[in-house]
Structure 1
Amino acid sequence: MNPTTPITSPAVTHTTTPDCEPSQFILPDLLNDCKFPLRKNPHRHAASRASEKWLTEVGELAEPEFRGYRDMDAAAFVSLIYPDADACRLQLCVESVNFAFIMDDLMESGGVDARKAHEWCIPVLRDPINFEAEHRPARMCKSFSNRFRETAGPGCRERYIRGKELYFAAVAKQLEDRAKGNTYDLESYIIQRRGIVGMQPYFALIEFATGIDLPDEVVSHPAYEGLDCAATDHVAWVNDILSYNKEQASGGAPWENLVAVLMHVQGLDLQSAMDYAGQMCKDALQRFESNCAILPSWGEEVDRQVAIYIEGLQQWMIGSLHWHFDSVRYVGNDGGAVKRDRIVKLLPKMPL
């Protein structure tokens, strides 16, 4: 993805934050704005059973930690974003996503330092056979990596590993900023968020899931980079919009969510910030389509692979969007009503 992609400000009315706190807000019309067809992988349930076994045997998760990740149901998520993967590849994609959630939670809680996680995981990904994985996260990474390398193309493997390196670096930077009390303007937040959302490894898994391996001349083309960047932004902004309620209730850092940043930096009230963020999602979709339109031709076979990859990005955007509404991790047990009415009641703030 290209971090220098122009950032435009949507035309949303600036409203001063009111003195009284609102009790609810209305979500942007995210589902109607994103019109890609939603498809589901038929191997979901088999992947879910295999994932639960992997979490207990390799991840060594016990109750209640195991229940939390089981209820999150990464297999349901992955079946939406990689609908064409065969059963074996789908299982590996589920393991990669489960591992990402576990590592994210560990780094967020301070259980694992981001730089230490880099030291454990990147050597395992590069040489899973010879690396001795002593720590649980490294063993989980090794379990995935051994099988991933058997069928992933060399370009796909390198993009996955490089994406993980960039993600760990972005997390370390965020934690350092948090410790120092650093804040962001909108542009710097957007750049920082593109790293933290960590999409590059999971876009590489589109290639893995569909059995393709894009050549370097495609991956380095500005229009391809623009596609990745637009899809990354859409996934990130959707996540920020739909996780805002949970984060504001738990006292999350105000500079680590787009809606909160818009309220602080742009002087918007909550509803105006939601509307602004929704327009940013629409802008990302428009950028995606614009970059699709200017992709050159690389010949019949490469163009076939590029078309598969583009459809994979579309599945990521629409699948991730639906999963956020369906996941208890973000909307609790009210996902159906929120999906239908778009009305979100603010959760009470947890005591410090």
Structure 2
Amino acid sequence: MVQNTTSDTRKPITFFLPDFLAAWPYERLVHPSLGSVDVESASWVNDHHLFNEKAQKSFDASLFGLLGCLIFPLNSRNFCRVGCDLANAYFVIDEYNDVADPEVAGQVCDTVMDVLRNPYKERKSGDKLGAFMQGFWQRALALTTPGSACINHFVHGFDLYMKSMIVEAEDRETKRVRPVEDYLQLRRETFGAEATISLLGFGLELPEEVLSHPVIKSMTLAAMDLLCITNDMHSYPVELARGIAFHNIVTSIIHEHKLDVPGAMAWLERFGKHQVETFLDGIEELPSWGPEIDANVLRYIESIGYLVRGADAWSYESERYWGKKGLEIQITRLVTLSPEAEESQEGFLTKEELRVAMDA
């Protein structure tokens, strides 16, 4: 029997959280600059006054700078600062778009992409989001050579991400639940997976023939799916509480395969393990491009591995999804959803606050 996926569920639901990364060879690793770059990035967010005081405190408690240090542990200090900025930027945009109607989501998209395409353009007074994104993007561009293939890949990936937010806003208006494969295609974009992985190429200067190679693309797609489903399984209780769980792989599995929540989580674990196998098998199938490029490819692949692991580790260590119970859940993997917990969750800003921010 299908479990109700909205907040009117009256009975507690208990399930085991999937552990599809059990065989993932990349262990938790944190950048040595944790404690400085994350603090700098948090101050940067605060300086732009994107949320009200109460919401900003909740945003800070999510430790998005820690996320940056966990998903970019192998890179330079400057790179890690950019990584912290990117983590913060994603969640700022997500919070904006979680309450946006399609029209306002379009405004958010236009603002962000104008920054990425015109990084040194003077921003108009009151354009908080544009000024915020410009700081990130200028620091990111300093990490690589102008004209590098990775820049185009990042901009393309971010464009997909921003446009997909408009589609998600349209789905939110109608509470549409997509079939699993349809959902995954959109989720890879709403997660910003391509842009995030593309950032790992900044400074490595990998040629287009490498980035577009079928094996690299297959491994990248598997990693993208692992990032997406990791986030979805952790965020499902919060999204259920906020009434936006229709855009979550768990809900799509429930609807398409006629499963309850525990059954959907078990299905997700099997799917995740298959993606892990695809990624690890790809390492053995990589061709050679010569010693210098091969060394950078290896660095790129390792970076993707730590990116996936870091995203999962942060989900337990931050209070965003599990409050103060994250590390306990990481061990027991036992989760109980109760109606009381569902009714207590709020976002960081309202539709009215978003409209004021975008119309400034």
TM-score (norm 2): 0.87
- Looking at structure 1, the residues matched to 2 and 93 of structure 2 have their Cα atoms a distance apart, in angstroms, of 35
How far residue 151 of structure 1 moved from its aligned partner, in angstroms, is: 2.5
Q: Does 1:311 align with 2:302?
A: yes
The counterpart of 2:25, out of the listed 25, 28, 35, is: 35
Post-superposition Cα deviations, 1:24-48, rounded to whole Å, max 9, x if no partner, equal 2111234524332221100011112
Q: Does 1:240 align with 2:232?
A: yes
The counterpart of 1:227, out of the listed 182, 199, 219, is: 219
Distance 1:94 1:72, change over 3 A: same
Counterpart in 2 of 1:87?
77
Counterpart in 2 of 1:198?
192
- Looking at structure 2, the residues matched to 37 and 268 of structure 1 have their Cα atoms a distance apart, in angstroms, of 32
Partner AA of 1:192 in structure 2: L
**Secondary structure of 1:214's match?**
coil
Partner AA of 1:101 in structure 2: F
How far residue 115 of structure 1 moved from its aligned partner, in angstroms, is: 2.0
User: Is the Cα–Cα contact under 8 Å of residues 316 and 327 in structure 2 kept in the other structure?
Assistant: yes
User: Is the Cα–Cα contact under 8 Å of residues 55 and 61 in structure 1 kept in the other structure?
Assistant: no
Counterpart in 1 of 2:280?
289
Q: Does 1:53 align with 2:43?
A: yes
- Looking at structure 2, the residues matched to 335 and 317 of structure 1 have their Cα atoms a distance apart, in angstroms, of 18
Q: Does 1:159 align with 2:153?
A: yes
- Looking at structure 1, the residues matched to 185 and 104 of structure 2 have their Cα atoms a distance apart, in angstroms, of 22
Counterpart in 2 of 1:148?
140
User: Is the Cα–Cα contact under 8 Å of residues 20 and 270 in structure 2 kept in the other structure?
Assistant: no
TM-score (norm 1): 0.88
Partner AA of 2:220 in structure 1: D
Partner AA of 1:315 in structure 2: Y
Distance 1:27 1:217, change over 3 A: same
The counterpart of 1:321, out of the listed 312, 318, 330, is: 312
Counterpart in 2 of 1:218?
210
- Looking at structure 1, the residues matched to 317 and 237 of structure 2 have their Cα atoms a distance apart, in angstroms, of 15
Post-superposition Cα deviations, 1:100-139, rounded to whole Å, max 9, x if no partner, equal 1101110111288232222212222222223434411100
Counterpart in 1 of 2:257?
266
Counterpart in 2 of 1:3?
none
Gapped runs of 5+ residues in structure 1? 1-15
- Looking at structure 1, the residues matched to 218 and 111 of structure 2 have their Cα atoms a distance apart, in angstroms, of 31
**Secondary structure of 2:335's match?**
strand
Q: Does 1:76 align with 2:76?
A: no
Post-superposition Cα deviations, 1:254-282, rounded to whole Å, max 9, x if no partner, equal 2x111111111101122111100111111
**Secondary structure of 2:15's match?**
strand
How far residue 147 of structure 1 moved from its aligned partner, in angstroms, is: 2.3
Counterpart in 2 of 1:179?
173
**Secondary structure of 1:151's match?**
coil
Counterpart in 1 of 2:352?
none
Counterpart in 2 of 1:17?
2
Distance 1:347 1:131, change over 3 A: farther
Bigger mean CA offset, 214-223 vs 289-298: 289-298
Gapped runs of 5+ residues in structure 2? 5-9, 346-360
Post-superposition Cα deviations, 1:24-78, rounded to whole Å, max 9, x if no partner, equal 2111234524332221100011112211221122355551222122111112111
User: Is the Cα–Cα contact under 8 Å of residues 2 and 259 in structure 2 kept in the other structure?
Assistant: yes
User: Is the Cα–Cα contact under 8 Å of residues 214 and 306 in structure 1 kept in the other structure?
Assistant: yes
Distance 1:329 1:118, change over 3 A: same
- Looking at structure 2, the residues matched to 246 and 257 of structure 1 have their Cα atoms a distance apart, in angstroms, of 11
How far residue 152 of structure 1 moved from its aligned partner, in angstroms, is: 2.0
User: Is the Cα–Cα contact under 8 Å of residues 231 and 284 in structure 1 kept in the other structure?
Assistant: yes
- Looking at structure 2, the residues matched to 69 and 79 of structure 1 have their Cα atoms a distance apart, in angstroms, of 17
**Secondary structure of 1:128's match?**
coil
RMSD: 2.1
- Looking at structure 2, the residues matched to 351 and 305 of structure 1 have their Cα atoms a distance apart, in angstroms, of 47
Percent of aligned pairs with the same amino acid: 26
The counterpart of 1:249, out of the listed 224, 241, 245, is: 241
- Looking at structure 1, the residues matched to 45 and 175 of structure 2 have their Cα atoms a distance apart, in angstroms, of 36
- Looking at structure 2, the residues matched to 339 and 259 of structure 1 have their Cα atoms a distance apart, in angstroms, of 19
Partner AA of 1:206 in structure 2: L
How far residue 222 of structure 1 moved from its aligned partner, in angstroms, is: 1.1
Post-superposition Cα deviations, 1:172-208, rounded to whole Å, max 9, x if no partner, equal 1222233345442222112121211111121122123
Partner AA of 1:163 in structure 2: G
- Looking at structure 2, the residues matched to 173 and 61 of structure 1 have their Cα atoms a distance apart, in angstroms, of 24
- Looking at structure 2, the residues matched to 102 and 60 of structure 1 have their Cα atoms a distance apart, in angstroms, of 8
Q: Does 1:106 align with 2:77?
A: no
Counterpart in 2 of 1:12?
none
Counterpart in 2 of 1:119?
110
How far residue 317 of structure 1 moved from its aligned partner, in angstroms, is: 1.0
- Looking at structure 1, the residues matched to 243 and 78 of structure 2 have their Cα atoms a distance apart, in angstroms, of 40
Counterpart in 1 of 2:162?
168
**Secondary structure of 2:2's match?**
coil
